[in-house]
Amino acid sequence: MALRIISAPNSTNSTKTTPYRFIGDEDSPSSGYLVLLTSAEAAAFLGIRKETLAIWRCTKRYNIPFIRCGRLIKYRKSALIAFLESRSSEVVDVGK
């Protein structure tokens, strides 16, 4: 699968772009886009603190896959969605 790197518009000037920013609406093999989130973005997406996510990563409490880019840590959006789906439970209607 070829990876397409999309440049995001710079907030200060719409004609310039920030290079090597991975963005897209979807993170699926069929879309060809890879959405990578920073630790802060991933933590916000999960609704937790950045430090909590770092503790989970270091202690391997939850097996959330991540990508190490030098000293930077990136998370695939699809991995975070899969993690949330694996942690969700079904509501059973017991009836009266």
Tens of pLDDT, residue by residue over 34-74, are 789 999 999 999 999 999 999 999 999 999 999 998 999 99
- Strand-pair partners of 37: 75
Domain boundaries, the chain: 8-78
pLDDT at 56: 96
Provide the whole-model pTM. Answer: 0.62
CB 74 within 8 A of CB 40: no
Q: For residue 62, what are the contacts with CB-CB under 8 A and spacing of at least 6?
A: 56, 83
